[in-house]
Structure 1
Amino acid sequence: MRKKIVAGNWKMNLTLAQGEQLINDILQAGLKLEEGQEVVIATPFPYLLKAKALLKNYPGFYVAAQNCHSEKSGAFTGEVAAEMLQSIGVDYVILGHSERREYFQESNEMLARKIDQALANGIKPIFCCGEPLAIRQAESQNDYVAAQLAESLYHLTAEQFSQVVIAYEPIWAIGTGLTASAAQAQDMHAFIRSQIANKFGREAALHTTILYGGSAKPGNAAELFASPDVDGGLIGGASLVAADFVSIVTKLS
């Protein structure tokens, strides 16, 4: 049985006090996670220790960083190494988010190095992939996503890959109010799983968690999560509202 995950990506939002209140509101909602279900909170770097402390007594709740550097250490002012994240108990790290790819020119090759750093430090990567609108309109999204997977993940061993979570982001549906239909999401998730099977084997593919990361919200989460190859969501804006985030978590099946 593969894990079902709802991960909240706060991006560059909230003060420490606001973030603490948000986590407390989520915890006080009394979510009952079933076996194999997880909630992951991806806070800005300054809040990771506080988030870890707040969640420590709640089984099934984990903390994620939103990025890490591609090198172990060195003269990279302002950057954060995976080893630093490991030293404070971070569980997951989001890598390859479409905003990082666009605004910070992160390449597939760079992301392969970041994946290596995360895994070397026992941190599970949430690897983001997905196509912009022009690629979708040209109907070449499968080739585009296949290249992202191959160039960033296919150097891994099967054992290493077993620690990776995939998040499919239709870039054209992030922050736009647009959402891929459940059928579009399922088609791409099934394609991604087929690519994993081709590279790492059928069992690896069956056990890989693939999240949907394109403007999921309370109103569409149930339909999206009901798709056979959609194992939860990477949630942006809705993760900043406790009631919305909790509602989405309850839609896990």
Structure 2
Amino acid sequence: MTITMKKLIAGNWKMNGSLAANEALLKGLATGMPAPPRCAVAVCVPAPYLGQFRALANALPGLSAVDLGAQDVSSQVAGAFTGEVSASMLKDFGCRYVIVGHSERRQYHAETDAVVAQKAQQALAAGITPIVCVGETLAQREAGQTQAVVKRQLAAVIHANGHCISEIVVAYEPVWAIGTGKTATPDEAQAVHAVLRAQLKAATDQAARVKILYGGSMNAANAAWLLGQPDIDGGLIGGASLKAQDFLTIIAAAFA
């Protein structure tokens, strides 16, 4: 049986924003959001602004279909971990999604595959959907290691969460295409997505339920091109999610 899923467009604001800028951005999204959107939509905001999103979502009807996401979660349940944010805390703010294993976390905070798997485990235990990021560097791509790298990264999460692996979202984000203006061609992106889909099929008979997003500099100009591929189920959007009209254009492309 073929499962038809709504695509998912998730914005990742990264370490950007202010109370004033966020309000203007969210009001712009609320004004232009289709009612209802024919794809799932989320924004993953910096932790200090989770409460602001909730307040504005209650005040702006146009945001009612936009889910809230966080950008990271602790691998621990609670305790003496200063500066960490637990999955239960994110749940208190109504987070539906949380990004784990983003390349910037792996690079700048030395997060290992095992730590990423633990973070996904914490999110799932709290009823939050982890957006598990995988991707290769330019050096790894040029060395022909793309498949080995992304399969290793995803395997760690499957091993730790095999019983509920169909509840995750996967985001393929080639590191060489993040914030660089470079983008994998649709064929290049689709080839890696197909590898990830096959890996998920080997792990669960519910693999068709797992959305696989593309996260390498998707923008308003190339979104329709990328989203037309059979195994690309949406996008994890960085810079373009900070501009209301660009983000709305990508949302529109997700069901064009």
User: TM-score if structure 2 supplies the norm length?
Assistant: 0.94
Alpha-carbon offset, residue 153 of structure 1: 2.4
2:79 is the counterpart of 1:74: yes
Name the structure 1 match of 2:237: 235
Name the SS for the 2:94 alignment partner.
Answer: coil
Name the structure 1 match of 2:99: 94
| Cα contact 2:118–2:160 (8 A) shared by 1 | no
Supply the distance in 2 between the matched residues of 1:216 and 1:38 (Cα, whole angstroms): 16
Name the SS for the 1:247 alignment partner.
Answer: helix
Name the SS for the 2:253 alignment partner.
Answer: coil
Of 45-54 and 227-236, more deviation after overlay is shown by 45-54
Paired residues for 1:1-80 under 5 Å: 1-35=4-38, 37-56=39-58, 57=61, 58-80=63-85
Name the structure 2 match of 1:133: 138
2:151 is the counterpart of 1:165: no
Alpha-carbon offset, residue 59 of structure 1: 4.3
Name the SS for the 2:221 alignment partner.
Answer: helix
Alpha-carbon offset, residue 222 of structure 1: 0.2
Name the SS for the 1:234 alignment partner.
Answer: strand
Name the SS for the 1:46 alignment partner.
Answer: helix
| Cα contact 1:118–1:124 (8 A) shared by 2 | yes
Query: Aligned match of 1:178 in 168, 177, 182?
Result: 182
Paired residues for 1:190-229 under 5 Å: 190-201=194-205, 204-229=206-231
Name the SS for the 1:11 alignment partner.
Answer: coil
Unaligned runs of 5+ in 2: none
Alpha-carbon offset, residue 156 of structure 1: 1.7
Supply the distance in 1 between the matched residues of 2:43 and 2:33 (Cα, whole angstroms): 16
Query: Aligned match of 1:155 in 148, 154, 160?
Result: 160
Name the structure 2 match of 1:250: 252
Aligned-residue RMSD, C-alpha? 1.3
Supply the distance in 2 between the matched residues of 1:108 and 1:226 (Cα, whole angstroms): 30
Supply the distance in 2 between the matched residues of 1:32 and 1:4 (Cα, whole angstroms): 16
The one-letter amino acid of 1:186's match is Q
Q: Give percent identity, aligned residues only.
A: 45
Supply the distance in 2 between the matched residues of 1:85 and 1:206 (Cα, whole angstroms): 27
Of 48-57 and 178-187, more deviation after overlay is shown by 48-57
The one-letter amino acid of 2:225's match is E
Alpha-carbon offset, residue 152 of structure 1: 2.1
Supply the distance in 2 between the matched residues of 1:22 and 1:31 (Cα, whole angstroms): 16
Alpha-carbon offset, residue 3 of structure 1: 3.2
Supply the distance in 2 between the matched residues of 1:13 and 1:242 (Cα, whole angstroms): 14
| Cα contact 2:158–2:203 (8 A) shared by 1 | no
| Cα contact 2:9–2:234 (8 A) shared by 1 | yes
Alpha-carbon offset, residue 87 of structure 1: 1.4
The one-letter amino acid of 1:146's match is K
2:114 is the counterpart of 1:112: no
| Cα contact 2:134–2:153 (8 A) shared by 1 | yes
Alpha-carbon offset, residue 34 of structure 1: 4.7
The one-letter amino acid of 1:126's match is I
Name the SS for the 2:161 alignment partner.
Answer: coil
The one-letter amino acid of 1:121's match is A
Supply the distance in 2 between the matched residues of 1:187 and 1:72 (Cα, whole angstroms): 37
Name the SS for the 1:154 alignment partner.
Answer: helix
Unaligned runs of 5+ in 1: none
User: TM-score if structure 1 supplies the norm length?
Assistant: 0.95
